[in-house]
């Protein structure tokens, strides 16, 4: 009997413990009133709850991160804005045909860009470092931006121009827009030029190394340079831009416009003011340009001279 009483007592204790554990996990609001009152002697009924009742349904109470100790706020992803486009009043032109005389090239560039507005200055040099390059300055950046957008990759003397914006203002632009600071601008530019070209340690080291190499190899006979083989115009790949040669000097843009508009999708006719015997005709697509080329090649526009039509070099 004593062992049976202990067994019953142990079972009652386990039942009481399990009821206590179960009751501790039951929200007070979900217990009937009589059951809650009867359990007050078994476990203490929680006075606070992590849930609230909404329309008869228990909802979890939102937790304020500020009330949680050692809470860490995760950084939010921020979008990186794209780099701003650098636009200036001066265009930097590369990949110019070096076989064209410098004065002819400058006149051609001025005539070409006059279609977009006033041209303040055209700067080009013969030296090796600046060969095949030029700077064209306008009175404002809007003109320069439009010209860059429309003329970039235009084939001038069979070479497509690569046009970007100059990093600094030219002397002509400063003289036009800010004449009071022209002297300071020019002094700063010349000082920067002297430091970067002559006083730079790397430049001095390179010049010394080059001079030493020239001294050592002065007696050596240089190997003959193999001339570059250029593809004939007749075998150039199709292009929507046609290159016209052997035009009579009296030909006008309207005459060419009338002639080539017989074929669909004509976009533009461009003459070179300083070289009247050549022109460019651009169509909307390569197939339209091919049709016009095949039809008008060797056409006698003035009854005497046959015009030569090929695809422009890309």
Q: Is 220 left (phi over 0), alpha (psi -120 to 50) or beta?
A: beta
Q: Where are the alpha helices (DSSP H) in the chain?
A: 2-24, 33-38, 102-113, 141-151, 171-177, 182-197, 201-216, 253-260, 286-296
Residue 297 has pLDDT above 70, yes or no: yes
CA 145 to CA 88: how far, in whole Å?
Answer: 8
Are domains 90-177 and 241-311 of this chain identical in fold? yes
Lowest-confidence range among 103-107, 269-273, 298-302? 298-302
Q: Which pair of tokens denotes residue 234?
A: 């007749």
CATH node for 241-311: 3.30.70.330
- Write the pLDDT tens digit of every residue in 229-255: 555 655 678 889 999 999 888 888 998
Two tokens, residue 273: 């003011």
Q: Point out which residues pair with 135 in neighbouring strands.
A: 92, 123
The pair of structure tokens assigned to 147 is 């010209």
Tokens of 12: 């009652």
Tell me how far apart the alpha carbons of residues 122 and 147 are, in angstroms, rounded to a whole number. 14
Distance between CA 130 and CA 122 in Å, rounded? 13
Tell me the CATH class for 90-177: alpha beta
Record the tokens describing residue 272, joined without a space.
């070179």
Higher local confidence (pLDDT), 87 or 51: 87
The string of pLDDT tens digits covering residues 171-221 is 888 988 888 888 888 888 777 777 776 666 667 777 778 777 777 655 555
Q: Kindly list the domain boundaries of the chain, sorted by start residue.
A: 90-177, 241-311
Mean predicted lDDT score pLDDT of the chain: 76
Q: Give the Cα-Cα-Cα angle 179, 180, 182 (nearest 5 degrees).
A: 60
- pLDDT tens for 49-82 read 455 555 555 555 555 555 555 555 555 555 566 6
pLDDT of residue 151: 94
Give the predicted TM-score (pTM) of the model: 0.41
**Residues contacting 51, CB < 8 A, separation 6+:** 27, 29, 58, 59, 60, 61
Residue-wise pLDDT tens digits, 94-115: 999 999 999 999 999 999 999 9
pLDDT in tens, 116-140: 999 999 999 988 888 999 999 999 9
DSSP 59: E
- pLDDT band for position 304 (cuts 50, 70, 90): confident
């Amino acid at each position: 009997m004593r062992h049976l009483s202990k067994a019953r007592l142990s079972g009652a204790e386990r039942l009481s413990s399990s009821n206590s554990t179960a009751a501790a996990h039951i929200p007070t609001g979900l217990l009937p009133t009589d059951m809650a009152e009867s359990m007050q002697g078994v476990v203490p009924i929680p006075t606070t709850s992590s849930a609230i009742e909404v329309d008869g349904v228990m909802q979890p109470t939102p937790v304020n991160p500020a009330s949680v100790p050692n809470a860490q706020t995760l950084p939010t992803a921020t979008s990186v804005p794209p780099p701003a486009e650098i636009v200036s009043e001066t265009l930097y032109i590369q990949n110019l045909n070096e076989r064209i005389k410098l004065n002819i090239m400058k006149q051609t560039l001025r005539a070409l860009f006059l279609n977009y507005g006033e041209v303040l200055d055209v700067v080009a040099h013969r030296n090796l470092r600046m060969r095949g390059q030029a700077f064209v300055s306008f009175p404002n950046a809007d003109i320069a931006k439009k010209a860059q957008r429309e003329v970039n990759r235009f084939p001038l003397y069979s070479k497509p121009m690569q046009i970007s914006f100059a990093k600094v203002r030219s002397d002509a632009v400063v003289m036009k827009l800010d004449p009071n600071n022209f002297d300071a601008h020019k002094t700063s530019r010349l000082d920067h030029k002297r430091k970067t070209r002559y006083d730079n340690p790397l430049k001095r080291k390179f010049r010394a190394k080059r001079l030493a190499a020239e001294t050592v190899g002065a007696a050596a006979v240089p190997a003959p340079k193999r001339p570059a083989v250029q593809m004939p115009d007749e075998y150039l790949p199709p292009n929507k831009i046609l290159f016209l040669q052997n035009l009579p000097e009296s030909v006008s843009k309207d005459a060419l416009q009338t002639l080539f508009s017989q074929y669909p999708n004509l976009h533009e006719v461009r003459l070179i003011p300083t070289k009247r015997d050549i022109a460019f005709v651009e169509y909307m697509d390569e197939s339209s340009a091919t049709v016009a080329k095949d039809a008008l090649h060797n056409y006698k526009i003035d009854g005497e001279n046959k015009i030569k039509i090929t695809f422009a070099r890309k």
